[in-house]
Structure 1
Amino acid sequence: MTDNISPVAVNAALQSMRNTDFDIQTAMCEVIDNSLQADSKNIKVHVTYSDRTSRKRNRPEQIAFGDDGHGMEGEVLQYCLRLGYSKRYDDRKGIWMTFAAISLCQKIEVHSRPKRGNWNYTYLDIGGLNKDDEPSISPIVQKDLPDEYAHLVGDFGTLVIWSKIDRVDSPVNEGELIHHMGRIYRKFIGDEIIHDKKVVKIDDVRNLYINSEIVKSFDPLFVTKSQQYPNDEITTLDDDGAMLCAVYHL
C-alpha cells in the first residue's frame, strides 16, 4: 500500500482511553476548571441519580454543568470536544475534559452562547459503535437549552451534559463530594487567600453549587478561614509566611 494512513484507529483508541483511573470527582473538575477559565461567576452542577430502589441506587445517570462565563462560538465550540484541544496552551487546565468524560460516560453534549450570539449545540456519542466505526463530533446547530437544565446557566455561558454514564461503579456520597470540592476550589470560592506570604481577602469570589447546595471553602491547614468550619481557630503566619501553629478539624 502506498497511501498514507492515520496513526490512530479512532474508535479503538477511544475505547482504550475509557479504561483510565479518573474518578468522578477528578473528572468533574475538568469541566469546572474550564468554567473558571471562562470567567464564570456562578458554576452550577446537577447530578441526576438512578432509581434509589434499584441495585445501582445513588449512581449518577446524568451530570449537567452550567455556568455564566463568556461562552463559545463557531469552531471553538465544536473543537472543545476534540481530545487535547485548547485555546490556552500556556495553561493546560481543563484540556482533558473529553478524556475525563469518556472515562465515565458515552455521550457528551455542549450548549454554549457568547454574549452577542445564539445558543449553539454539538455532541459526541461513542455508544453503540462497531469496532470499525469512526465516531465524530457533530456539526454546530442552533438549539434551545433543555428545560430541566436551563436554570444552570446565565443569559450566556456554557452547559455540558454527560449521559449514558456506565463507568461509575460505586454510589456517590454527595456530602463527601461537596466537601472535597470545597478543598479543591477554596482559592476561588473562599473569603481569603494567601498572597505574598499574607492572608488577604479574595476580590473575585466565584460561586460553586452542587444540586443547589453552595460549596463552601475548606482549607485543610486552616491558614485561611474555612467556610465549612467558621468557628474553628486558624493557623497564624510569621513575617516570613511560615506557620506558627496549626489547628486541624477532625
Structure 2
Amino acid sequence: MGTSDNYRIVSPELTVKAMRDSGYKNTAYALAELIDNSIDAHATLVEVFVCESPIKVSQRKSHRVDTIAVLDNGDGMDVDTLRRALKYGDGLGDDRKRIGRFGMGLPNATMSQCTKVEVWSWTNGPGNALYTYLDLDEINMGQVDVPAPVHKPGGIPDRWRTLSDGLGEHGTLVVWTNLDRVNWSGAAATLKNTSQLIGRVYRHFINDNTVEIRMAPVREDKVVDGEYRVEPNDPLYLMESTSTPEPFKAKPMFEPFEMGGPEPGVMPFRVKAANGSVHEVRIRASIAKAESRLRDVAGAEWPASATASNDAGKQVWGKHAGLNTGVSLVRRGRELDLDHKWIIGYDPVERWWGIEVDFPPELDEVFGVTNNKQTATTFSSLAHFEWQSEADPTESFSSFQSRLEEIGDPRLPLLELVNYLEFKLLRAMRERLRQQTKGNRSALKRHDDVTSKASDVVKRRRDEGHAGKTDKLDQVASEEEKRQEQVESLTQLHLDIDRAELMVDEALKNDWHVRWVSSPLDTSAFFGLKLMAGMMQVEVNTRHPLHDNLVAVLDEVPENITEADLKRRLEKASATFKLLIYSWARMEDELPDDDAREKLAETRRDWGFKARRFING
C-alpha cells in the first residue's frame, strides 16, 4: 500500500506545536531536563547562563531575558548521538541507568520555552565542537529531519568561552533563543525562581559533591554581580549545609523520625514491577527538632534576628519549610515532584515533617512516571486513598488486594506502601509534632489561671480532710522522686525530654497539683487519669472525636481568626458539649436495673458537687 503526506498519522509541525504544551510547570522544570542530560553525561560542573538585553519600557530603560544557555563538562556526544538527542522520542534509547530515558527531554523542554535551540558538543576540545539545531519556523515550513551535525570554524562561540568557569576538553553547550514562553522577564528573577527548585531536585547530587551547578546572570556578555553555586534545598532538612536560612543553614533543622527500620528514619518496602521482578523502595522520614519550633529551648535559643512572634512558621526558616511541604518523590537520586496532595488543608504542623519516597527506574510504570519527569500519576492519585471506601462491606484488606489483582488494577503494587504512609507514618508524625509544642512557656502561661485555680481547690479539699491518693503519695515522696516520676509520665506520652522537664519544673515551682495533657491514647475513653505524688494528671485522648470537636476548637484558636470563624467555633463547641451530656444520659438510661442507675446517679451528683467547687473556687 502506498503512502501519502495527506494520510500521515502524525503531522510534524502539529506534533511539535503540541509538544510545546507538554505540561512543564515553569522554566525551572524545563531547565532541569537539560541538567539531567549533563549529569547522565558525568558532568561535574553545569553552568546556567541567563542573558538579558536592554529594552525600552515607556521612557525608562529595562532588561529582558533573550537567551538561556546550559554548558557542562560532561562526556560530550559524537555525530550520531548528538543528532538523535534532538529527535523526539529517541534520545539515547530506553536506558534505565540514566536519569532521562524517554528520549523527550531536550527537544520537549526546549520547545516548551522557545522556538530555537542550538547545540554544540565536543569530545576533543571546544574548538572541535559539533553543531546542530532545531528551529520551529523551519519545522513549520516542512523540515522533518534533524540537521546533520557539522564542525563550525572555531568551535563554540567566544561568548561562551569567556563566560564559562570550567570549560573542559569535552562537554556540551545548549543555547535557547527566540524565547517566547519563559516565565520571568529578568535574569535575576529567572535565577532566583530557578535555584530553589534546582537545589531541591538535585540536592543529593550537590550534597554528595557529584556535581556543581553554577547560576550566572549575564548582561552585555559579562557575568554581573549575583552569580552563585546552587545549594541543596532539602525538604527533609537533614543535610548540614543547605539553602535553609540561619540558624539552620549549616546544621539540620529536622531529625530522623524513627520507624523501626534497619536505620534511623528509614523504612524499606518491596514493590513488584509489571514484569514480576521485585525492587526496593526506601521511605525516609524526619520531623522538626524542638529548637526550630520553640523559642526557649535551653542552649538553642532563637537568634536576635528572629521576629517577635513565637509562631515558628512566621520565622524565615519556618517560611522556608512552608515552601517545602509534601511527600518528595525521588527517582534515582533525582526528585520528580514534591507532592502536595498528601497535606491536610492548612495545618501548621504540615511544614514540620518531611517524607521522601525513593524508588528505582525499574518501577516507573508502577509509579506512573510522566515523560517530562515532573510527577508520578499513580502514586499521586493514591494520596488520602481509603481502601475501605472501595471494598465490599465484609471484605478484608488482603481480600481487597486479591480482587484488585484479578482485575489487573495498576494501583495494587503501591497499596501497602501508601497505606503505611497515610495511616501509620503520617498519623504518628502529626501526633508527635502536636505534642512537641505542649508545655512551652507560652502554652503554660495560657493555662496558668486554670491550673492555679484547680490546684487551690485540691489543696483546700486536702486541708478539709478529703485526702486523695495523690495527697497520700505526696507525703512519702521526695521532691526529686516526684520530679522523676512526672517527667517519665510525660515522656511516655511522646513529649520531648526538655518539654517534659520544663512542665514539671514549672509545676513544682508554682506548687501546682493538676496538669492537663493532650496525647494519643490507645483507649476508647475521652481521657485518662494518672495519679502521682502531689500531681493529678488528666490525659486527654487526641484520638477521641471530643478532642477535635471540643477541646481543640476552644483551645487552639488562631491569632488572626475572624469574628465569623470564632462564632462557628463556639457553636461547634456548644453542640459538642450537649452531645457529650446526652451520651452520659443514654449511658444511665441503658443500665440494666434501678440499683445500677442509682449508683451512677450518685456518682453524677458527687461529680456535680466537686465541679461546683472547682468552677466557683
Question: Which category of TM-score, normalised to the shorter sequence, fits these structures?
Answer: 0.7 to 0.9
2:118 maps to 109
**2:237 and 2:254 in contact (8 A); partners too:** yes
| Residue pairs, 1:194-209, within 5 angstroms | 202=208, 204-209=209-214
**CA distance in structure 1 between the partners assigned to 2:57 and 2:183 by the alignment:** 14
Which residue among 24, 34, 39 is the counterpart of 1:36?
A: 39
**1:160-188 CA-partner distances (Å, limit 9, x unpaired):** 01111112254352223212211111111
**1:114-156 CA-partner distances (Å, limit 9, x unpaired):** 24893111111112665x5235321111021111112433221
Shift of 1:79: 1.1
CA change 1:168–1:54 in 2 (3 A) is farther
Which residue among 70, 78, 83 is the counterpart of 1:65?
A: 70
Is 1:45–2:54 an aligned residue pair? Answer: no
The answer to which structure, 1 or 2, has the higher relative contact order (CA under 8 A, 6+ apart) is 1
2:177 maps to 163
2:206 maps to 189
**CA distance in structure 2 between the partners assigned to 1:85 and 1:102 by the alignment:** 16
1:175 maps to 192
**2:46 and 2:70 in contact (8 A); partners too:** yes
Secondary structure in structure 2 of the residue aligned to 1:101 = helix
**CA distance in structure 2 between the partners assigned to 1:220 and 1:82 by the alignment:** 35
**2:115 and 2:136 in contact (8 A); partners too:** yes
1:198 maps to none
Shift of 1:27: 0.5
Structure number having the greater helix percentage: 2
**CA distance in structure 1 between the partners assigned to 2:90 and 2:64 by the alignment:** 30
Secondary structure in structure 2 of the residue aligned to 1:127 = helix
CA change 1:164–1:224 in 2 (3 A) is same
CA change 1:58–1:93 in 2 (3 A) is farther
TM-score by length of 1: 0.83
Secondary structure in structure 2 of the residue aligned to 1:77 = helix
**1:47 and 1:60 in contact (8 A); partners too:** yes
**2:84 and 2:92 in contact (8 A); partners too:** no
**1:108 and 1:123 in contact (8 A); partners too:** yes
2:145 maps to 136
CA change 1:157–1:129 in 2 (3 A) is closer
CA change 1:103–1:236 in 2 (3 A) is same
**2:33 and 2:106 in contact (8 A); partners too:** yes
Q: Which amino acid aligns with 1:245?
A: I
**1:65 and 1:160 in contact (8 A); partners too:** yes
Shift of 1:57: 5.7
2:88 maps to 83
CA change 1:16–1:86 in 2 (3 A) is closer
Which residue among 131, 136, 140 is the counterpart of 1:126?
A: 136
Q: Which amino acid aligns with 1:100?
A: A
Is 1:99–2:114 an aligned residue pair? Answer: no
CA change 1:129–1:84 in 2 (3 A) is closer
CA change 1:223–1:87 in 2 (3 A) is same
**1:111 and 1:145 in contact (8 A); partners too:** yes
**1:179-221 CA-partner distances (Å, limit 9, x unpaired):** 221111111111xxxxxxxxxxx3x531001114211111122
Deviates more, 1:177-186 or 1:24-33: 177-186
Which residue among 11, 17, 32 is the counterpart of 1:15?
A: 17
CA change 1:244–1:112 in 2 (3 A) is closer
Q: Which amino acid aligns with 1:149?
A: W
Which residue among 277, 283, 288 is the counterpart of 1:246?
A: 288
**CA distance in structure 2 between the partners assigned to 1:165 and 1:188 by the alignment:** 29
Structure number, greater radius of gyration: 2
1:216 maps to 231
2:467 maps to none
Shift of 1:58: 5.9
Q: Which runs of 5+ in 2 are unaligned?
A: 217-226, 266-284, 293-316, 319-617
Give % identity.
28
Q: Which runs of 5+ in 1 are unaligned?
A: 191-201
**CA distance in structure 1 between the partners assigned to 2:115 and 2:288 by the alignment:** 45
CA change 1:53–1:116 in 2 (3 A) is closer
CA change 1:175–1:68 in 2 (3 A) is same
2:349 maps to none
**1:74-116 CA-partner distances (Å, limit 9, x unpaired):** 1111111001213251336433221111011111111001248
**CA distance in structure 2 between the partners assigned to 1:8 and 1:93 by the alignment:** 28
Deviates more, 1:155-164 or 1:227-236: 227-236
**2:130 and 2:149 in contact (8 A); partners too:** yes
TM-score by length of 2: 0.36
**CA distance in structure 1 between the partners assigned to 2:27 and 2:40 by the alignment:** 21
**CA distance in structure 1 between the partners assigned to 2:10 and 2:93 by the alignment:** 24
CA change 1:76–1:103 in 2 (3 A) is same
Deviates more, 1:84-93 or 1:173-182: 84-93
CA change 1:136–1:58 in 2 (3 A) is farther
CA change 1:184–1:57 in 2 (3 A) is farther
